[in-house]
Structure 1
């Protein structure tokens, strides 16, 4: 069964309320939603009014689709996301990024809060995700393939788009923000990991761990939309400190990193938008 009619109905409802055709999509993770409030000419569409859109129930995820501008770049932004651990079917978890793609976004930049595994990381660091490990035990493409969205067996070699990664590095230089790089492990949650699981993840090559992003990257790759992601390392993972982990710490660290995160993401959006505009002019 195709989800295209539902996606297109969601897009129809959104387009009745937003004044521009977005070129860049953005997904804002835990504690990072404030960036959307700084968009120029921002219009907010509540998820509750968008057909098929799941509503996040986690603190720090506001639940609005925001449309506005960063400089001259038209943006559609998900201010909060649904998670698999909330009980949503995986097709619903990725519904939001599929909507961004159907709205016309030709690149999607994702963000999340993550636990740091790499011994060289500190709380508050920003990490460009250069690859991921899908350890959620499932995949958003399980089930009959919808050929109208993408092919059955998408290649994942460049799931984290090399050009968008290069633009993120350039944006970090623009903004004067230190940007680490690493591999993100996506786990189901909602529990934080045990110290033994963190040791396992480090052995597997993970530098940070979280409970989102991986399904969205896969869905966007399936649709042929370039995507890339940045993590805000909001805490060191289990066993790396003597403290127990707490979601309030995640939100507080994200708040403290807000100025650097905002500067990086805004510069990244500007560069991605300029690249898309140049590509359109050339064609």
Structure 2
């Protein structure tokens, strides 16, 4: 993997993607942050050596380099998922590339379903902890110890200092920001009523199909990591209705301005 990483980084540097301070992963329906970036370079994933290709139609599939609130950023406009047929190493490969390009902070966004019924769709949840239900680890491969500590500590996967800044900013902007535990499943099928009940018993406040692999690798690389989830639907097993993916995307888009404000103000404060 080290050889592949070096070749990918060399390719990007040859195309004027330089050092960055912050990496940002934009999830479902949350691609409009790029409109606020002073873009210096953007490259489609399918042109980047060893990068997976985004197959989900609502993920743009571009790597963007530029400036946001005075900071150099690398932005993934669209991410990869295990349910697309990729390995966890494939899904998290871009995080390793961003780290080689200098990032010290990884910010992640996603869309998820609210398990905690006190949380409502259209609201935001700051991820304080997670439950990995993807059945494997992105660190479970030969040679991982050459890239970082094999037995990565996960006692604080989401940086407390950054989370506190997010909470303070949300309060100042009058944005409702819950804090909770995110459960990550494989998908792509949605959960059954029994699975929602199980997730609640396990202590999950929301559920989605991403984020945790990238967060694990971020911690493996000693990056500061923070993640915010847009709650796009309410997962009440006693009142469960069929979910329309288009409604989920629309709800994520509706909440997107709040996410953009949070991320922009956080970056400005650093």
TM-score (norm 1): 0.91
Deviation sequence 1:96-139 (CA, Å, 0-9, x none): 11111111100000010000100111111110000000011111
Deviation sequence 1:125-173 (CA, Å, 0-9, x none): 1100000000111110112242331111111001111122122212323
Q: Match for residue 165 of structure 2?
A: 167
RMSD: 1.4
2:2 to 1, 4, 9: 4
Deviating more after overlay: 13-22 vs 227-236: 13-22
1:269 lines up with 2:267 in the alignment: yes
- C-alpha contact 1:32 1:60 (8 A) present in aligned 2: no
- C-alpha contact 1:22 1:75 (8 A) present in aligned 2: yes
**Any stretches of 5+ residues in structure 1 without a counterpart?**
275-283
Q: Match for residue 279 of structure 1?
A: none
* Aligned counterparts, 1:61-76, within 5 A: 61-76=59-74
Q: Match for residue 234 of structure 1?
A: 232
Number of residue-to-residue matches in the alignment: 270
- C-alpha contact 2:193 2:240 (8 A) present in aligned 1: no
Q: Match for residue 83 of structure 1?
A: 81
SS of 1:76's partner is strand
How far, CA to CA, are the matches of 2:36 and 2:212 in structure 1?
26
Q: Match for residue 154 of structure 2?
A: 156
How far, CA to CA, are the matches of 1:196 and 1:217 in structure 2?
27
2:254 to 238, 253, 256: 256
Deviating more after overlay: 160-169 vs 74-83: 160-169
Query: 1:83 Cα shift?
Result: 0.2
Q: Match for residue 118 of structure 1?
A: 116
Q: Match for residue 107 of structure 2?
A: 109
Deviation sequence 1:22-75 (CA, Å, 0-9, x none): 101100001101112320134211111111111111122100011111121111
Q: Match for residue 128 of structure 2?
A: 130
How far, CA to CA, are the matches of 1:229 and 1:125 in structure 2?
14
SS of 1:257's partner is helix
**Structure 2 vs 1, CA of residues 11 and 117 (structure 1 numbering), >3 Å: closer, same or farther?**
same
**Any stretches of 5+ residues in structure 2 without a counterpart?**
none
- C-alpha contact 1:172 1:267 (8 A) present in aligned 2: no
Deviation sequence 1:155-207 (CA, Å, 0-9, x none): 10011111221222123234332211000000010100011101110011000
Q: Match for residue 93 of structure 1?
A: 91
